[in-house]
Amino acid sequence: MEEKIKDFLKRWEGCRLKAYRCPGGVLTIGYGHRIIIGEKIPDVLSEEEAVRLLEEDIARAYLVLRRLVKVSLCPWQEGALISFIFNMGSGAFQRSLLRSKVNREEHEEVPPEFLKWIWAGGVRHRGLLRRRYEEAIFYGRGKL
């Protein structure tokens, strides 16, 4: 499952080996890695460095998921939530009704919650809508 999540994130994030600002205005590099103030990142990454950062970010998202979700999940449900946490951040997930519904095991009500998270920089983002739709399908049916 971890390879499938990594492939899913690679497809959605794309790879940029030089830093850029994402649609939400966050300084980003590689496969959607958010650069934190003071973080030592080369001006230009190699593909291997970009993959390493992606794997570290996925590991952090798993830690967040384990800390904030108190119920058992199927691998595909975990995968959809990892993608969401990776993209939107742990704070957004922690505050979300999406997380509340997962923890209340209202699984049939979770997929529509993904579709509420389609805004970047105050603008409805078509790419986020498509991504959230895929996450919702993945969560609900286990398919991409």
Instruction: Enumerate the active-site residues.
Output: 13, 22
Question: CA angle, corner 44, sides to 40 and 48, nearest 5?
Answer: 85
Q: Looking at the DSSP assignment, which residues form a beta bridge with residue 21?
A: 27
Residue 67, Cβ neighbours under 10 Å: how many? 10
Side-chain half-sphere of 123: how many Cα atoms within 13 Å?
8
**Strand, helix or coil at 2?**
helix
72 token code pair? 């058992």
Q: Which two tokens stand for residue 8?
A: 């899913």
Sequence letter at residue 52? R
